[in-house]
Structure 1
Amino acid sequence: MSQLDSGAVAKSRVAIIGGGVCGLACAVSLQQAGFEVQVFEATTAYGQVGAGIGLGPNAVRALEAMGILEPLLQRLPQGNHFVKGFLFYCGLRDHQLVYDYPAAPELPNVNMQRAAFLEALSSQLLDLHSINFGKRCMSVTESSTNSGALNIYFTDGTTHIADVVLGADGIKSTIRNFIVNSGASMGGAAVQRSRRAVFSNTVYYRGMVPYSALLAAGFKTPMSDRPACFVGPNKHIVFIAIKPRDLVMVSASSTNYNVPLGTESLPEESTWVDDVPRDELQKDFDGWGPDVSILLGLMPEKVSRWSLRVVHPPLENYTRGRVALLGDAAHGMLPHLGAGAGQGLEDALLLVRLLKRPETNRDNLPAVLQTYSDVRRPRAQAVWEVSDRAGRVYDFHGPHGSTPEGLREDLEDICAPIWHYDLDRDLESAIEMLRANGSFAH
C-alpha cells in the first residue's frame, strides 16, 4: 500500500462543486493521488466566460507543487509562461509612463485564455468520466441514514452521495450557504444562494481587440507581452497582448466611491453579467487620452459588462464538518491584482496536501478541514484587502494621491506580499495545529 493510500480518507468519495480553475486543479491533483473524484460543473461546456486569466508567481508555484504545471504548459499555446512585471500609464492626455513594476527572472507568470486552461485540465489531465456538465447544485445536506455521508441535490432532479464536498462554485456559491447558515435549508431564494456576495460598486467591461487593428489605428502606447494599465480618476483599464500576439485582452474598470461597500444593491432582475453597447463603455471613459479612445473604439460592438460581487464581510469559517470552500466561493475579491485565481490555487494546494497526509482519516477529517480554514482565512483576507487597495490606487484614491510621485510610492512592492508568500509554511502551520490539538500524532 502506498503512502497516499495509507490514510483511510484516500478511499473517500470527493465531490467538487464547480469546475473552474481551482476546482479542476484540485480535482486533477487529488485524482493523480488516487482519490475517487467527481466534478460537477453548472455550465454545459467550457466557453469564453472570464475571457483571460493571469497567474502570478505564487499561483505558478502552487501548480508546480501540485504536479500539474509542466503537463499543463505542454498543452497550452507557446509563449504564455514568462517573466513579467506591470506597466502603469496615465490614462489622460499623453499617457506618460507612471511606474514600471519590475519582476525578477525567478518570478514567472502564466497568462492565457481561461477556456484554454480549463480545456487542457479537463480533457487531457482529468479522467473524462470524472467531470459532469450541466449540474447546478441546489443544496447539500448531511445524511440522516449514512453517518458521515453528504447528499448533494441538483436542479435537474439528480442526486449524488459523497464523503467530502469541496465548494469551488465561485462567487455565486451555493455551498457557501451551507457553511454560513450552519446547515440551514439551502433551497429557495437567490439571496440565500449568494449570501455574503455583495455588489462591489465596480463594473468591469471585458473584451478582446485585434492587435493589428490597434497598430493600424495609431495606438502609440508601447505594447509588449507585459500587462499594462491606464490609471485615472475612478477608473482604470488593464490590457495585455496574448501570444502569438494576435489579440489584446481588455478589462476596463469603473467604480462608484461615493457609497460604502455592501450598501448598494442592484435590482433583483439585473444579471451579474450582461452585454451592453460599446458606446456605453466609451461614454464612461469620455475625456480620457487618445490611446484610450482608440482601444475602446476597437472593442466589440457588444461589450461584456460584469457587475462585480465580492465576499463581504469575510467569512468566519470556510468549513463545516466534511464540507469546505475554496476560491471565490470562500473569499471572492476584486480582480485589480489578478490574485483571485492564485488564492484559489493556494487553497487547493493546502487541501490536497492535507488530504494526502497518511495521518488524515475519516475520523479526523472534519478537524483537518477546519485547520485548512484556520490557516487559509488570514492569508486570503490579506490578499483581498491589498487587491481592494490596488484598485483605489489605480483610481487616484490611494493614500499618496494622484501625482506620479504619489502613485509610484503607493504602487511600489504592492504585489510583494502576494508573490513571495511561503506556500510550504501553510502546510507546516497546519500540521503544527493538528498535532497540537491531537488530530495528528506527534
Structure 2
Amino acid sequence: MGSNAAPEESSQRLRVAIIGAGIGGLTLSAALGALSKNDLEIDIYESAACISEIGAGITLWPRVWEIMNAIDLGQPLLQFLQRPPDDTARIVFQIRKGDEKEGFFIHDVVMQGGSTTFHRADLQQALVSRMSGQLHLGHRFTSLEERNDEVVVHFQNGTTATCDLLIGMDGIKSAVRKSLLSKQGLTNSPSMEPVWSGTIAYRGLVSRDVLDKVFPGHRTITTPMMYVGKGRHVVAYAISRSLINVAAFVTYAEKEGTVYEDTCSSAEEIQEEMVSLYTKWEPEVQVLIRTLKQPLKWPINQVIPMERYVSGRVVIAGDAAHGMPPHQGSGASTAIEDAYILASLLSSDSCTKDTVLKVSEIYNNIRCVEGNRALDMAIDMGKFLDLAFPGLENVREGDENVDRSILDAVGYEISRKWEWVWKDSAEVDKARALDLLKSE
C-alpha cells in the first residue's frame, strides 16, 4: 500500500483498502477526506484502466443530499443543477396509466425537498475532485487472506497489498462478496451471484430540443414522469438542461431467477424491439421510445438479501452488499449512506487498529438491516409500477376499464413506500453507530 510516511509512523496508521471506484467507493474516499481527523492510509483499487462514465441519470433523495452537504460535496454539485435543493414540497414523479391510446393521470408523488437529479458523469466528476487516498487503476481483485491482524489482498496483475480493513464496493457482481461468503463457509449461498429479476431495462437519452420539436409541450420536459401499465412501465425525467433520461422496463414474472439470454445486439435492433413492445401505449410514450439516442438493453439483476455484510476485517457495501433493481432510484443513494456510516466510524477518535473489528460489527448491525430494507422496497416498487397489485390480477395490457379506485391505491402505496427517502435521516443511524463505538 503506497505511503510516504516513515516506517514507524506508517505502522501506526489505520490502513483502509477500498475495492471499486464507482459511486460508492468514491463517496467513501471523499467522505474520509472530509470527516477524518485520524491519520488514515487510504488506497482505492479499481479494475478498469480508467474511471469511465457508465450510466446516465442518477437521483439523490433529500436524506442523501443531507449527506452530501455533511461531506462538503453539496456546494460543488450545485453547478450541475437547474434548481438548488430546498425544503419546499414538490412533485418528484407524476404517475399516468400509459398503456392505452389515451392515458390518464393517476397520482402525484410529492416530497418535501423533492429529488435532485444528475447526469452520472457530473456526480462522478465531483467525487473524483474530492477523492482522498491513492487510486490504483488496473487492479482487479481476485482473492484475500485474513490473518490475525491484517488482510492480504491479491490482484489479477500479480500484485498484493495489505490492510487493516478491506471494504468491497465492487458492484453487484462483487468478487469481494464471493470471498466473504466463502470465508464464512457459505459457498452455496444464493447470494454468491446476482440473480435475474425477470425484468429487462431499455435505457437512453432524449434531446429536450428534439422532443419539443417532435411533440411540442411534451410532459417530460417540465415534469418527471412514470407511465405505468400491466407488466411494463416507463420512467422519464430531465437530468440536465438539454437531456431527458428515459428507462423503459418490461417484466416477465415467470422468468424471475432464470438465466437471462439476450438475442438483441445493435442499437437499431434494440430500438425496433422497444417500439414493438409499446405499440399499444399512448403517443407521448411512443415518441419517447422513438427519439431515444443509442438505446441500451440489459437485464435487471438483484442480490438475494444477505444475513451479514461483514466477516472480521472484510466488509461489503453498496451494490456488492444489496444490489437492487432501480425502481426506487435508491441504489446509488443507499451506497452513499453505507459510505457515510463507514466514514463516520473510521473518522471517530474511538477508531483505532485495536477497535477496527468493533467498527465492522457496528456497521453490519446498522447497515445490513437498512440495506436489505431498501432492496425489498425496490422490488415491491417495481411490482407496483407494473400493476402487479391486489385487485389487478386479471388486468391485461391496454385494458381501458380498470377500477380507478384500485389505481388510486397503487399511487398511494407508491408514495407511502417512498416516504423513507425524505422523512427519515441517515444522521440517526450515524449517531447510533458512534454511540455504540464509544460504549464499553
- TM-score, length basis structure 1: 0.85
The answer for unaligned runs of 5 or more in structure 1 is: 1-7
What is aligned with 2:312?
A: 321
Equivalent-residue separation in structure 1 for 2:265 and 2:12 (angstroms):
39
What is aligned with 1:397?
A: 388
What is aligned with 1:139?
A: 143
The 8 Å contact of residues 219 and 295 in structure 1, kept in 2 or not, is answered as no
The 8 Å contact of residues 173 and 320 in structure 2, kept in 1 or not, is answered as yes
Equivalent-residue separation in structure 1 for 2:222 and 2:143 (angstroms):
43
Aligned Cα RMSD in Å? 2.8
Equivalent-residue separation in structure 2 for 1:10 and 1:117 (angstroms):
34
**1:77 matched to 2:80:** yes
Equivalent-residue separation in structure 1 for 2:325 and 2:12 (angstroms):
35
The answer for unaligned runs of 5 or more in structure 2 is: 1-9, 393-401
The 8 Å contact of residues 17 and 42 in structure 2, kept in 1 or not, is answered as yes
After TM superposition, give the deviation of residue 226 of structure 1 in Å. Answer: 4.1
Residue 378 of structure 1 is aligned with which of 353, 369, 385? Answer: 369
After TM superposition, give the deviation of residue 272 of structure 1 in Å. Answer: 12
**1:229 matched to 2:237:** no
Equivalent-residue separation in structure 2 for 1:133 and 1:20 (angstroms):
12
Q: Counterparts in 2 of 1:207-218, with a 5 A limit?
A: 207-218=204-215
Residue 251 of structure 1 is aligned with which of 247, 250, 259? Answer: 247
Q: How many residues align?
A: 410
Equivalent-residue separation in structure 2 for 1:9 and 1:232 (angstroms):
59
Percent identical among aligned pairs is 26
Q: Counterparts in 2 of 1:236-315, with a 5 A limit?
A: 236-244=233-241, 246-259=242-255, 261-262=256-257, 264-267=258-261, 276-300=269-293, 302-312=294-304, 314-315=305-306
Closer, same or farther in 2 for the Cα pair 1:408/1:371, shift >3 Å? same
**1:95 matched to 2:103:** yes
The 8 Å contact of residues 15 and 163 in structure 2, kept in 1 or not, is answered as yes
Residue 418 of structure 1 is aligned with which of 416, 421, 426? Answer: 421
Equivalent-residue separation in structure 1 for 2:429 and 2:235 (angstroms):
31
The 8 Å contact of residues 80 and 112 in structure 1, kept in 2 or not, is answered as no
Spell out, residue by residue over 1:255-284, the C-alpha distance to the aligned partner (whole angstroms, 9 max, x if none): 11124x42x1235xx699985531011122
**1:52 matched to 2:57:** yes
The 8 Å contact of residues 208 and 249 in structure 1, kept in 2 or not, is answered as yes
Residue 119 of structure 2 is aligned with which of 113, 117, 123? Answer: 113
Q: Counterparts in 2 of 1:423-438, with a 5 A limit?
A: 423-431=426-434, 433-434=436-437
Spell out, residue by residue over 1:107-150, the C-alpha distance to the aligned partner (whole angstroms, 9 max, x if none): 2532111112112211x2125x722223221222224xxx4221
Equivalent-residue separation in structure 1 for 2:370 and 2:323 (angstroms):
13
Closer, same or farther in 2 for the Cα pair 1:393/1:61, shift >3 Å? same
What is aligned with 1:170?
A: 171
Q: Aligned AA for 2:364?
A: S
Secondary structure, counterpart of 1:277 in structure 2:
helix
Q: Aligned AA for 1:162?
A: C
Closer, same or farther in 2 for the Cα pair 1:434/1:14, shift >3 Å? closer
The 8 Å contact of residues 318 and 377 in structure 1, kept in 2 or not, is answered as yes
Closer, same or farther in 2 for the Cα pair 1:227/1:46, shift >3 Å? farther
What is aligned with 1:333?
A: 324
Spell out, residue by residue over 1:373-412, the C-alpha distance to the aligned partner (whole angstroms, 9 max, x if none): 1111122222212211111111111235364432332332
Equivalent-residue separation in structure 2 for 1:135 and 1:86 (angstroms):
40
Q: Aligned AA for 2:64?
A: A
Select between 15-24 and 214-223 the one with higher mean Cα deviation.
214-223
Spell out, residue by residue over 1:276-324, the C-alpha distance to the aligned partner (whole angstroms, 9 max, x if none): 5310111222321111211111113x42112111011x11110111111
Closer, same or farther in 2 for the Cα pair 1:399/1:48, shift >3 Å? farther
Secondary structure, counterpart of 2:374 in structure 1:
helix
Equivalent-residue separation in structure 1 for 2:259 and 2:348 (angstroms):
44
Equivalent-residue separation in structure 2 for 1:225 and 1:354 (angstroms):
41
After TM superposition, give the deviation of residue 432 of structure 1 in Å. Answer: 5.0
